[in-house]
Amino acid sequence: MRALRARDFRAAAHSAALILLVSAVVLSLLPLFAVPVGGPVAQAVHWTGVVTILGAALACRVLRPEFLDRWAVCTVLALAGVGLIGTLNVLTEDTSAGSQAFYALPVLWVAFHLRATAVALVTASAVAVNTLALLALLPTAKALTDATFFGAVLIVIAALLVRANRMQERLVDALQRQLTVDSLTGLATRRAFDEALETAINRPVPGGTALVLIDVDSFKWINDTHGHPVGDDVLVHLARVLRGRIRAEDAVLSRLGGDELAVLMPGCGREVAARRAEELLDAVRGEPLALADGTLVALSISLGVAHLPRYSRDRRGLYTSADAALYEAKRGGRGRVALAV
């Protein structure tokens, strides 16, 4: 079922309502332009289709987009549109290029908004229905010629739009990764950290929320002595060590900027957070950075730990307390953990 759902269900529902409304208006105006509507049966189908399309447009505006997408309503509407176009073409005995062009509406719409499987299904349906309608109205050779030509056009258009959508999605994913993943360390960015902190505070869990701020001791000395490339290596090494001690399911490890890192631990009590901070400190001490010439650079970090009770939403207070505790750890001699009062 997921393959038949929209890539962006809100955008799909909004545009579906607009396309359906336009289609209903165009269909209702066709008799004014001397387009044959056939006998009573054709007229009944014609106006029933107009009313049905208007109802579908209203439903897309009123019903929740999530509900519509869950039941693949957009795909169903596109298939129904293909069926209605084919039925009207047969009843009105219209085999003109203009009548066949209407198949492009549902195909183009699904190509913009739905996933590749739904696009393939609707496009194949449009080609098949158009072929059957032409075979019913024209000599076989003429029908197959027209159906092949117009079917090829539909398939090429659909394929190009699906390819363009995939390229756009890859670009969006790359941009999103740049916004949420630090390019040097692979840790979460400040933006991702802020979003995680906001979520943790707005959706409190038992145990409250703990925050550990981490600073590399003597980082300026490392840069001045060994060069900035080694400073970058220190951050990468440190990220690897810390990531090995922190499960992604339990905490968010991020680089806030420079050599300042943070560990956000939702559902973690004050004492547990302090104990885990001590474990991180020991892990960093136990794994020095090996340089290319074999030199081992001993690393040390200072950590400030703060805790927010379950129902408190003092986001600024949590960060301020952790920052004050970090300052206390550095003032107390570095290479230690300080717990905020």
Which residues are identified as catalytic?
Answer: 259
Phi, psi of 220 (to 5 degrees): -65, -40
From the CA atom positions of the chain, what is the Rg in Å? 31
Strand order in the sheet with 252-257: 252-257, 260-266, 209-216, 301-308, 337-339
Task: Report how far apart, in Å, the C-alpha atoms of 96 and of each of 81, 90, 146, 210, 236 are.
Answer: 18, 11, 10, 70, 66
Dihedral pair phi/psi, residue 188, rounded to 5°: -65, 150
The two tokens of residue 97 are 């290029």
Maximum Cα–Cα distance across the chain: 94
Q: Which 8-state DSSP code applies to residue 211?
A: E
Half-sphere exposure of 167 (CA within 13 A, CB side): 6
Rounded to whole angstroms, the Cα distance separating 22 from 57 reads 9
Alpha-carbon distance of 168 to 174, in angstroms, equals: 10
d(CA 157, CA 18) in angstroms, rounded, equals 21
Helices (H) and strands (E) in the chain, counts: 13, 7
How far is Cα 257 from Cα 282, in angstroms, rounded to an integer? 23
**Long-range residue pairs from 96-103, CB within 8 A, at least 24 positions apart, any chain:** 97/150, 100/130, 100/146, 100/150, 103/129, 103/130, 103/150, 103/154
Rounded to whole angstroms, how far apart are CA atoms 256 and 338?
19
